[in-house]
Amino acid sequence: MPDREPRPNICDYEGSDYRIRFWDGKGRDYEDRVERVALRRLLPARGRRLLEVGAGFGRLTDEYHAYEQVVLLDYSLSQLQYAQEHLGTDDRYVYVAADAYHLPFRPGVFDGATMIRVIHHISDAPSVLAQVRNVLVRDGVFILEHANKRNLKAMVRYAMKRQTWSPYSLEPVEFVELNFDFHPEYIRRSLVDVGFKLQKQLPVSLFRLDAVKRALPLDLLVGLDGLFQLTGLLYAPSVFMRTVATGPGPNNLEADSIFACPECGGDLVHEGETIYCPKDDLRWAIRDGIYDFKATIDS
């Protein structure tokens, strides 16, 4: 095994009941629906292959029907197993358990990527954004959602001195361990630094307050949110950005294999129900159709 740099901590959802605890019947239909409104506004009309970074249990994967293939990547094998149960095992979906800090793909194998409700768990956001840029072709579209530290509630709380951190300063704030809010300008600069050009930003989920959600009908709230998104005023708790990949880079969209060694970047070989890096002599399992790059297995 090659020597490894110390790695950032990962917010581990393995075995978590995220779907049941956070979404199913938990009064978050508003959040789910307005995120879909934003996504539909930002997604291209068609594409070849999309990478969904931190896909979780595939809550939003049905929005990506315009792509010929969707690769669901998540650190949690159990989230992917659930996604596979309801999305199925046909070739249109590829399931990959891996760390977004070390994507196991060749450069330029995707022309689309999304990352929704994930970067708030990432302590080194620029590293992961660089990984995403590397696996996209030039002009590939990347849709990123981030939790917004400069939201109305935080601004009011800060003005009333009920919050110590400033919503206006650019650095990320870690409000709970491995949970970060970001300033939109910090994210924009980080994206530009690694080779993305910002095309559009939408403020999403402005009415994410229990009292408001109880007082107003869901359809009305979704309609109002959809209108507010169009103002571009980035004071909602969530921001969706559409960016495109700029600069040079290979186009491997039609390559035989999308995978590369997450350690050395070299080509991998399929051998039975495993995938193998001859250069590093490392091997990973393919478990019931899920590529498991979380840990190597014995050769």
Query: Which residues bind to ligand SAM, rule: CB under 6 A?
Result: 10-11, 13, 54-56, 59-60, 74-76, 79, 99-101, 116-118, 121
Q: How far is the CB of 272 from ligand SAM (least distance, A)?
A: 26
Q: Least Å distance between CB 18 and ligand SAM?
A: 6
The smaller minimum CB distance to ligand SAM, of residues 94 and 155, is found at 94
Q: Least CB distance from residue 224 to ligand SAM, whole Å?
A: 22
Minimum gap (Å) between residue 162 Cβ and ligand SAM: 26
Please state, in angstroms and as integers, the Cα–Cα distance from residue 241 to each residue in 56, 182, 198, 227, 258, following that order: 20, 13, 7, 16, 26
**Contact status, residue 180 vs residue 174, Cβ threshold 8 Å:** yes
Measured from the CB atom, the residue of 75 and 235 that comes closer to ligand SAM is: 75
Q: Is 204 helix (H, G, I), strand (E, B) or coil?
A: strand
Q: What does the DSSP 8-state code read for residue 120? A: G
CA 44 to chain centre: 17
287 burial (CB, 10 Å; 0-12 / 13-18 / 19+) is middle
Nearer to ligand SAM, 18 or 158 (CB): 18
Q: Toward ligand SAM, which CB reaches closer, 124 or 193? A: 124
Residues 94, 90: Cα–Cα separation, whole Å: 8
Closer CB to ligand SAM, residue 73 or residue 245?
A: 73
Shortest reach from residue 145's CB to ligand SAM, in Å: 8
